[in-house]
Amino acid sequence: MWTFRSGHLFLGFRMPDTSRPPILLLTGTNAAAWTMKPVCAAFEAAGYPCHSLTYRYHDLPSGPDRDAKLVGVSIADFVEDARQEIERVGARPIVVGHSLGGVVAQLFAGEGAVRAGVLLNSSIVNGVLPTTDGERELGKLFISAGALWDQTPQKDLALRNAYGLNTLPEALQRDIHARLDSESGRVLFEFVFWMYDVNRTTRVDPGKVTCPLLFVSGTEDKAVATSTARVMADRYATAEVLAVDGACHYVQFDRQWPATASKALEWLSGKL
């Protein structure tokens, strides 16, 4: 049985069924594989073999060395990290991505490299604009940081609680925030300000996406609103949206997660 340090209960565990396709778990920004433990527990309990990825330098402790290495790192580097993991796994996987991991999942879907994708509060990709004033306010905060692409923004508890952890108990908010760390400003620039990214790093050709995608969206997510998730899903002929009433951006830590995971697994079993 998985347990989180604040007492948040994860689902039970059983040995994976090797007849099921593998699942690659992709984290959001500032994070490492530990943020996908509730997801791993749920899908492994259903028999799926899971592989969790920590992007380059995200296993380093806080400090100048980590920050220096993260400067200039791109989403394209995270895609390459994930591609190497897929090669190591040796089979075309299902991808379950949280936040930025949802962007990487969409990029792979556009390449035909994955069987299906479950996107947990996916960040936006090239061509998708925010639909709420709250999301636009968050963008303005990033603008105020200056040359974001040359920086390594540090974590901010008040900001994360307002936009990402807003429905969670205070102790759990502090626990999660304490384990998150700095991130490449270029990564943030590439998806928040995709319209200014000359490399078009997050561009996905919707016509090339043929695998099923499930956009899971917490209705209390202040970073990527459910209305924005619907706009993103509408780009793809094979996509559906699962709205999770009352859940925040870190939906996998919300109290609704066991029920949400069950619905995602039911959707997935109907698509494979």
Confidence (pLDDT) at 102: 98
16 pLDDT tier (thresholds 50, 70, 90):
low
The answer on pLDDT for 4 being more than 60 is no
Confidence (pLDDT) at 15: 55
- CA distances, 177 to each of 93, 214, 219 (Å): 30, 27, 21
7 pLDDT tier (thresholds 50, 70, 90):
very low
- CA distances, 170 to each of 165, 175, 207, 247, 254 (Å): 9, 9, 43, 15, 12
- Which residues fall within 8 angstroms of residue 248, CB to CB, at 6 or more apart? 164, 165, 166, 167, 168, 218, 220, 221, 222, 254
Confidence (pLDDT) at 146: 81
Q: Which residues of 124-144 are buried (b: 16+ CB within 10 A; e: fewer)?
A: bbbebebbeeebeebeeeeee
DSSP label of 190 = H
- Strands 116-120, 23-26: parallel, antiparallel or unpaired by DSSP? unpaired
Both tokens of residue 56?
Answer: 């380059």
Phi then psi for residue 19, to 5 deg, are -80, -15
- Strands 94-98, 23-26: parallel, antiparallel or unpaired by DSSP? parallel
Confidence (pLDDT) at 106: 98
Q: Which residues of 195-230 are buried (b: 16+ CB within 10 A; e: fewer)?
A: eebeeebbebebeebebbbbbbbbebbbbbbbebbe
Lowest pLDDT segment from 9-13, 78-82, 267-271: 9-13
> How far, in Å, CA of 93 to CA of 48, rounded?
10
> How far, in Å, CA of 95 to CA of 114, rounded?
7
Give the residue with greater pLDDT, 235 vs 161: 235
Confidence (pLDDT) at 62: 94
Instruction: Express each pLDDT in 26-56 by its tens digit.
Output: 999 999 999 999 999 999 999 999 999 999 9
> How far, in Å, CA of 110 to CA of 16, rounded?
28
Confidence (pLDDT) at 148: 81
Instruction: Express each pLDDT in 177-214 by its tens digit.
Output: 999 999 999 999 999 999 999 999 999 999 999 999 99
Confidence (pLDDT) at 18: 67
The pLDDT mean for the chain works out to 92
| Residue 239: strand, helix, or coil | strand
> How far, in Å, CA of 240 to CA of 234, rounded?
8
Instruction: Express each pLDDT in 66-108 by its tens digit.
Output: 999 999 999 999 999 999 999 999 999 999 999 999 999 999 9
